[in-house]
Amino acid sequence: MIEQVASAFERQDYHRAAKLLQQLLKESPENPWVQFYLGRLHEVTQKHQNAEKIYRQLLRNTTNTKIVTQARQGLQRLQELAQEERQRAIAKATAQPSNSELGLLVLEPLTNELKTIAAPKFAQIMQLDPYTARLVLPSRGWRGYRTGQVGELEFYGTQLQQAGIPCFWTTIAAIQKIQVFQVKYFSESDTEATVICSNQENQLGSLSFQWSEVSARVVGLLPIFEEVVDVNARRQLERKTQTQDYAQFCDLHLPERNCILRLYDHGYEFQQGVEITPQVSQNTIRINWNSLLKWIEQHLSKTKIWSDFTPFAETVLDQTEMLGIIQPHIHLFRREKTNWDPAFHLYSGLIFLKIK
């Protein structure tokens, strides 16, 4: 009867093939040829997941060379079909001009238990092997995973979310639209705070806001690089660029005003405005900065602090093309540009848009 099934497939008489297979499944359901043609029937009737499952089972459990070869060919056809469908869907998703803008897809952390469940799904969606997929999924903090046209990122991101893998995406243009004010000092506090700050055109002014308007605090360390002379293994002098110190940053988000108030330790004028700590002139920058953060904490004790900048930055520092178009709004003295500066603004901007 297997010959009759094969003949029905050759004639593309799938109705006849289905009837014969129904009978064979009752008589000898474990027969590898019966299982193979059941997989073929699933394939031609668009039940691709069922077909793939049977083909893979045959590859694991069958030694018959002909069946193994045909099962591999079936998997190849399914993979090519899936690739064609994916390309069509991506082309459709990026057809609109707004969907062709540069964007970033961010993966959110999962517990180890959830990673075990999510890794095979992630591997299938992103066309990775399961081992690599598990390594890519983050356990702590966000991972900047993929850049590209935002329509394509939305295509993948939607599938990931449907599979229970937390992620989000946005355009770089949306981050660029957030205004950034460089805070010089707080001139007033109480229920309403006032800061003396400069805008993106470096014009000095003041901005008053209610503490309740602040949706997030973002803190991070940005490395300060210096060129030093060192002795190498051959006892020769050589110049190296090393991290000599870190600048401390704190962003306050005001989403209703579409702006970020940016403070950093060497840019805050501690001797001006509200007295943060007594005898401020005798203290070190580090002591003054810690006092400022504690003072802000008193007003924003219920506002979440985001502090996973460094692990996030390490996932995007090699994305030079993307970071190169981000205006960082970081005014540190740099002999050379560094991707750390736009990476911090990217991190803060992503949080701003995510919880807005």
Q: C-alpha 107: how far from its chain's center? A: 4
Confidence of residue 113 (pLDDT cuts 50, 70, 90): very high
pLDDT at 279 over 70: no
Q: Residue 26 and residue 311: Cα distance in Å, rounded?
A: 57
pLDDT recorded at residue 239:
67
Q: How far apart are CA 68 and CA 163, in angstroms?
A: 30
- Predicted confidence band of residue 282 (pLDDT cuts 50, 70, 90): low
Question: What distance separates the 2 farthest-apart alpha carbons in the chain?
Answer: 97
Residue 61, pLDDT above cutoff 70 = yes
Chain-centre distance of CA 170, in angstroms? 10
Residue 16 has pLDDT above 90, yes or no: no
Query: Hey, what domains does the chain have and what are their CATH numbers?
Result: 2-92 (1.25.40.10), 97-172 (3.30.1390.10), 178-355 (no CATH)
Separation between Cα atoms, residue 171 and residue 237, nearest integer Å: 46
Q: Which two tokens stand for residue 317?
A: 């520092």
Percentage of the chain exceeding pLDDT 70 = 94
**What does the alpha-carbon distance between residue 237 and residue 37 come to, in Å, rounded to a whole number?**
72
Mean residue pLDDT across the chain: 89
Give the residue with greater pLDDT, 48 vs 227: 48
- Mean pLDDT over 104-123 rounds to 95
The alpha carbons of the chain give a radius of gyration, in whole angstroms, of 29
Q: How far apart are CA 190 and CA 333, in angstroms?
A: 34
Q: Are strands 259-264 and 179-188 parallel, antiparallel or unpaired?
A: parallel
Cβ-Cβ contacts under 8 Å for 301 (sequence gap 6 or more): none
Higher pLDDT, 278 or 258: 258
- Whole-structure pTM value: 0.78
Amino acid at 320: T
Residue located via tokens 């690739």: 83
More confident residue, 140 or 34: 140
Report the share of the chain in percent with pLDDT over 90. 56
Beta-carbon contacts of 328 under 8 Å, excluding residues fewer than 6 positions away, are 341, 342, 344, 345
Question: 185: closest CA among 275, 249, 260, 306?
Answer: 275
What tokens were used for 120?
A: 């095979």
**255 pLDDT exceeds 90?**
yes
Running DSSP on this structure, what letter comes out for residue 316?
A: T
